Amino acid sequence: MGSVDVNPMPEVLVRPRSGQAASFVRNLVVLSLVLVVATLALYYPVHQFPFINYDDRDYVYENPQVESG
């Protein structure tokens, strides 16, 4: 019988090389920054809108449970 070279750890489970790890971290940081910038850009116009007070009177100001503490 011939000898068979068996790798106990498949390539998927082998630790990435340092360049691959750095690339992964860089991609993760870039993705995080893109998400933060996109979220800020999306919600930035909200600061220009006035506060709307539809139900505060009923649920807060005139609520006996809230007034009693």
69 pLDDT higher than 70: yes
Average pLDDT on 3-11 reads 62
Domain assignment of residue 55, given as a range:
18-68
Does 47 reside within a domain?
yes
The pLDDT tens digits of the residues spanning 23-45 come to 888 999 999 999 999 999 999 99
Does 1 reside within a domain?
no
Q: What are the phi and psi torsion angles at 20 (to 5°)? A: -70, -40
Does 59 reside within a domain?
yes
52 pLDDT higher than 80: no
Residue 8: band (very low, low, confident or very high) from pLDDT cuts 50, 70, 90 = low
38, 32 contact by CB (below 8 A): no
pLDDT at position 1, please? 55
